[in-house]
Amino acid sequence: MADFRMPSLGADMEHGKVVEWLVKPGDYVHKGDLVAAVDTDKTVMDIESFEEGVVAEFLVEIGDTVEVGTPIARIAATPAGPIPAPPEQSPAVEAPSAPHPAPAPGEPKAPTPPPVQQAASASPPVRHLAHTLGVDVRSLHGSGRNGEVIRADVERAAGRSVAEVRATSTAQGSQTQEPRVRSSPLSRRVAAQLGVDLKGLPGTGPGGAVTEADVRRAAGAAATGTREGAPPPPQAQPAEAAAQTAPRQSRKALVGDKAGTLRRAVGSLMARSKKEIPHYYLATTLDLAAATAWMQSVNQQRPVSSRLVPSALLLKATALAAKEVPDMNGFFTRGEFRPSRSVHLGVAVALRRGGLVAPALHEAETLTLDELMDQLRDLVSRARAGRLQRAEMADPTITVTNLGDLGVESVYGVIYPPQVAMVGLGKVLEQPWARDGMLGVRHVVKATLSADHRVSDGLRGGRFLSRIDELLQRPEEL
């Protein structure tokens, strides 16, 4: 049994709100399968499972906001049969321990996760025991020395919660205690696929278990509608069958809603960046004559839909240059710079209602221009629809912000921690340009670099910018 925790979807993320479950209890998930949509302060993102197994239960409700690292679902290595009374219910109860009187019985406790309080201290074996018994140490009052949570506290809390669970389940009577349907794993899988309800199906397998054949027979009968007394026609059980009754908002509304929180999140992160990172700034003008000429000749032979845009060339050149000047590409964490072997190029995307996100084009240095165009288009549309995935938000190793569309000639960016460089690109302009003693009119663009002085200096930064320029002079090699 593994906890599926609220992942960190970026250096600045502290908490997230579950807005949609993309699986339901009983589903089998593989590593990488999408499990839920999470609303961060910036955008709504799909988060994927790191575990393989069966979703046993959800630990938070839709709409709950929890801190990064909080378990939000349990994934069992094997399927839970009848989903057991979630042990999470127990820690929600503020278990009293001897020195502290129990709360008055009539005083209802909101079943919210325990508020963040300073973590009660407990020795590792006790924490382990608590974990095993499904008790949250933080919810306990320790009766040990200096308020330390000891074994007895945990056992008392566990015992109490078990007793409570038992009491409530008997009080509610048999309606909650559905008899378990004996059924083979395969039959359950097929039943889920075909939307057949196993309850009431006659089983012909070992010990009267429902087998695959029984399910298929039932599905066939239901489909033709000839069988009398058959269970109600199976409805394809949608994911919503997990009966999430909590209020749900559409993603669109959520994404639209965010301008304020997003502004705050960006603001605090940028404040941190400016405080911690000693920025230095360089600027240069890139001669795009060769690049635009080449691009136009290529585009002439293409249908409109697959034409290249200058951004693709600029991004590719930036990625290649970052690969060659590794001081620009990587993370500065815990007082140390770790260059990245691949270039995951963050691309700043302006959201329609305001604010920015900068998801990654993975391994941008290896993409062809067409692949890069495709992925860029996909990334921008998903960013705006709130469909980004965790890796895309967490991975960028260097970011490019391109404000050319808005008519800005140059932009000096603020580095997005823990990255160490930010490239700014302005509008592509026609300018008088002297070359080889002659004056002409050429396409140029202002490129700026904001880089981290703890990692590099103007010499490396200048090399990086001039490398971009060189690469753009041979566009056919990009």
- Which span sits near another protein by CB under 8 A: 11-19, 147-155, 186-194, 235-243? 186-194
- Which span sits near another protein by CB under 8 A: 207-215, 225-233, 257-265, 340-348? 207-215
Residues 328 and 420 sit within 8 Å (Cβ to Cβ): yes
Nearer to another protein, 101 or 202 (CB): 202
Identify which of 128, 44, 130, 36 has the alpha carbon closest to the alpha carbon of residue 75: 36
Residue ranges in 9-48 that form contacts with another protein under rule CB under 8 A: 28
For residue 237, give every residue at least 6 positions away whose Cβ sits within 8 Å of its Cβ, in sequence order, or none. 192, 195
- Which span sits near another protein by CB under 8 A: 104-112, 185-193, 307-315, 406-414? 185-193
Among 99, 101, 206, 238, binds another protein (CB under 8 A): 206
Among 102, 116, 119, 186, binds another protein (CB under 8 A): 186
- Which span sits near another protein by CB under 8 A: 80-88, 152-160, 183-191, 339-347? 183-191
Does residue 184 touch another protein according to CB under 8 A?
yes
Which residue(s) pair with 446 in the sheet?
Answer: 285
Question: Shortest Cβ distance from residue 192 to another protein (Å)?
Answer: 10
Q: Which two tokens stand for residue 312?
A: 């693709």
Nearer to another protein, 159 or 205 (CB): 205
Residues 146 and 98 sit within 8 Å (Cβ to Cβ): no
Nearer to another protein, 212 or 324 (CB): 212
CA–CA gap between residue 255 and residue 281 (Å, rounded): 33
Q: How does DSSP classify residue 377?
A: H
What is residue 360's three-state secondary structure?
Answer: strand
Does residue 371 touch another protein according to CB under 8 A?
no
CA–CA gap between residue 447 and residue 404 (Å, rounded): 11
Nearer to another protein, 52 or 148 (CB): 52
75: left (phi over 0), alpha (psi -120 to 50) or beta: beta
CA–CA gap between residue 112 and residue 139 (Å, rounded): 12
Nearer to another protein, 98 or 186 (CB): 186
Does residue 406 touch another protein according to CB under 8 A?
no
Nearer to another protein, 122 or 191 (CB): 191
Q: Which two tokens stand for residue 62?
A: 């839709």
Write the interaction track for another protein spanning residues 71-100; mark x where CB under 8 A is met and - where it is not.
-------xx---------------------
CA–CA gap between residue 58 and residue 71 (Å, rounded): 9
What is residue 287's three-state secondary structure?
Answer: strand
Question: Shortest Cβ distance from residue 177 to another protein (Å)?
Answer: 25
Question: Shortest Cβ distance from residue 204 to another protein (Å)?
Answer: 6
Question: Shortest Cβ distance from residue 187 to another protein (Å)?
Answer: 6
Does residue 189 touch another protein according to CB under 8 A?
yes
Question: Shortest Cβ distance from residue 248 to another protein (Å)?
Answer: 30
CA–CA gap between residue 49 and residue 27 (Å, rounded): 12
Nearer to another protein, 215 or 291 (CB): 215
Identify which of 347, 461, 457, 451 has the alpha carbon closest to the alpha carbon of residue 405: 347
- Using a 10 angstrom Cβ sphere, with 0-12 exposed, 13-18 middle and 19 or more buried, the burial of residue 176 is exposed
Nearer to another protein, 9 or 196 (CB): 196
Contacts with another protein by CB under 8 A: the residue count is 16
Question: Shortest Cβ distance from residue 407 to another protein (Å)?
Answer: 57
Residues 278 and 57 sit within 8 Å (Cβ to Cβ): no
CA–CA gap between residue 131 and residue 340 (Å, rounded): 36
Does residue 205 touch another protein according to CB under 8 A?
yes
Question: Shortest Cβ distance from residue 185 to another protein (Å)?
Answer: 5
- Which span sits near another protein by CB under 8 A: 130-138, 178-186, 252-260, 325-333? 178-186
- Using a 10 angstrom Cβ sphere, with 0-12 exposed, 13-18 middle and 19 or more buried, the burial of residue 314 is buried
Residues 7 and 68 sit within 8 Å (Cβ to Cβ): yes
Residues 165 and 90 sit within 8 Å (Cβ to Cβ): yes
Nearer to another protein, 26 or 462 (CB): 26
- Helix residue spans in 114-175 (DSSP H): 124-133, 151-172
Nearer to another protein, 49 or 90 (CB): 49
Q: How does DSSP classify residue 212?
A: H
Among 185, 220, 278, 458, binds another protein (CB under 8 A): 185
Question: Shortest Cβ distance from residue 85 to another protein (Å)?
Answer: 24
Does residue 211 touch another protein according to CB under 8 A?
yes
Does residue 469 touch another protein according to CB under 8 A?
no
Among 204, 306, 366, 381, binds another protein (CB under 8 A): 204
Residues 125 and 97 sit within 8 Å (Cβ to Cβ): no
Most distant CA pair in the chain: distance in Å? Answer: 94
CA–CA gap between residue 423 and residue 414 (Å, rounded): 9
What is residue 152's three-state secondary structure?
Answer: helix
Does residue 187 touch another protein according to CB under 8 A?
yes
Q: Which two tokens stand for residue 45?
A: 């993102």
Nearer to another protein, 79 or 159 (CB): 79
Nearer to another protein, 185 or 233 (CB): 185
Q: Report the interface residues with another protein, using CB under 8 A.
A: 28, 78-79, 184-189, 204-206, 209, 211-213
